[in-house]
Structure 1
Amino acid sequence: MAERSPGTGPETGKDMTEANRRPVASLWIGPRLHYLNQLCLKSHVDQGHPTTLYVTDDVQDAPEGVEIRPAAEIMDLDMALVARTSASFLSNVFRYKMIRKTGAIWIDCDAFCHRPFPDGMDYVFGEHGLSGALNCGVIGLPQRCEVMDQLLNYYDNLPDYPEWWNKRQRKKMDKQPDKLSHAAKIYATERTAFGPQAFTHFARVTGIIKNALPRAGLYPVPFQLNDVFFDPYGRVEGHFTDETLSVHLYTNGTRRWWRKHVPPPGSYAFRMCEQVGIDPSLALEE
Structure 2
Amino acid sequence: MVDINAFWFGPRLGAVHAACLKSFVRHGYTVRLHVYEPPTDLPEGVELFDAEQLMKRSELVSHGKTGSYALASDKYRYRILRAGLGIYVDADVYCLKPLPERNYLIGWENDKAVNGAVLAAPSDSRLVAYLNDVFLDRSFIPPWERKSRRHKLMLKKAIGLAADPTSMPWGTYGPALITHAVKSFGLEAEILPIDTFYPLHCSQLSLLYDADMTLADITTQRTCVVHLYNFLLPDRAIPETSPLGRMLAGKA
| TM norm structure 1 | 0.79
- Answer yes or no: is 1:109 the counterpart of 2:91: yes
Checking the alignment, whether the CA contact within 8 Å between 1:233 and 1:267 is kept in structure 2 is yes
2:75 to 93, 98, 116: 93
Q: Which residue of 2 aligns with 1:56?
A: 36
- Answer yes or no: is 1:76 the counterpart of 2:56: yes
Deviations 1:181-218, CA, capped at 9 Å, x for gaps = 711222xxx10101000000000011112111100000
Checking the alignment, whether the CA contact within 8 Å between 2:71 and 2:166 is kept in structure 1 is no
Per the alignment, in what secondary structure is the counterpart of residue 20 of structure 2?
A: helix
Q: State the distance in 1 between where 2:109 and 2:58 align.
A: 29
Q: State the distance in 2 between where 1:77 and 1:172 align.
A: 32
Q: Which residue of 2 aligns with 1:139?
A: 119
Q: Which residue of 1 aligns with 2:170?
A: 191
Checking the alignment, whether the CA contact within 8 Å between 1:113 and 1:247 is kept in structure 2 is yes
Q: State the distance in 1 between where 2:88 and 2:15 align.
A: 20
Per the alignment, in what secondary structure is the counterpart of residue 249 of structure 2?
A: helix
- Answer yes or no: is 1:28 the counterpart of 2:3: no
Q: Which residue of 2 aligns with 1:280?
A: none
Deviates more, 1:135-144 or 1:149-158: 149-158
- Answer yes or no: is 1:269 the counterpart of 2:250: no
Shift of 1:102: 3.3
Shift of 1:41: 0.3
Per the alignment, in what secondary structure is the counterpart of residue 156 of structure 1?
A: coil
Aligned partner of 2:242: which letter? S
Q: State the distance in 2 between where 1:132 and 1:235 align.
A: 28
**Structure 1 69/127 Cα, relative in aligned 2: closer, same or farther at 3 Å?**
same
Aligned partner of 1:220: which letter? P
Deviations 1:128-171, CA, capped at 9 Å, x for gaps = 03x33100000011111011111111111143421221135447
Checking the alignment, whether the CA contact within 8 Å between 2:115 and 2:178 is kept in structure 1 is yes
Within a 5 Å distance, the mapping from 1:1-286 to structure 2 comes to: 21-78=1-58, 81-82=61-62, 84=64, 85-119=67-101, 121-129=102-110, 131-170=111-150, 182-186=164-168, 190-254=169-233, 257=235, 263-275=238-250
**Structure 1 206/112 Cα, relative in aligned 2: closer, same or farther at 3 Å?**
same
Deviates more, 1:60-69 or 1:224-233: 224-233
Runs of 5+ consecutive residues of structure 1 not aligned to the other structure:
1-20, 278-286
Checking the alignment, whether the CA contact within 8 Å between 1:40 and 1:110 is kept in structure 2 is yes
Per the alignment, in what secondary structure is the counterpart of residue 275 of structure 1?
A: coil
Checking the alignment, whether the CA contact within 8 Å between 2:5 and 2:89 is kept in structure 1 is yes
More helix by share: 1
Checking the alignment, whether the CA contact within 8 Å between 1:46 and 1:276 is kept in structure 2 is no
**Structure 1 180/149 Cα, relative in aligned 2: closer, same or farther at 3 Å?**
closer
Counting matched residue pairs gives: 246
Cα RMSD between the aligned structures? 2.5
Shift of 1:111: 0.4
**Structure 1 172/264 Cα, relative in aligned 2: closer, same or farther at 3 Å?**
farther
Q: State the distance in 1 between where 2:121 and 2:251 align.
A: 28
Per the alignment, in what secondary structure is the counterpart of residue 151 of structure 1?
A: helix
Aligned partner of 2:95: which letter? C
Q: State the distance in 1 between where 2:124 and 2:63 align.
A: 32
Runs of 5+ consecutive residues of structure 2 not aligned to the other structure:
none
Aligned partner of 1:223: which letter? C
Kindly, what percent of the aligned residue pairs are identical? Answer: 26
Shift of 1:112: 0.4
Checking the alignment, whether the CA contact within 8 Å between 1:33 and 1:59 is kept in structure 2 is yes
Shift of 1:269: 1.1
**Structure 1 269/153 Cα, relative in aligned 2: closer, same or farther at 3 Å?**
same
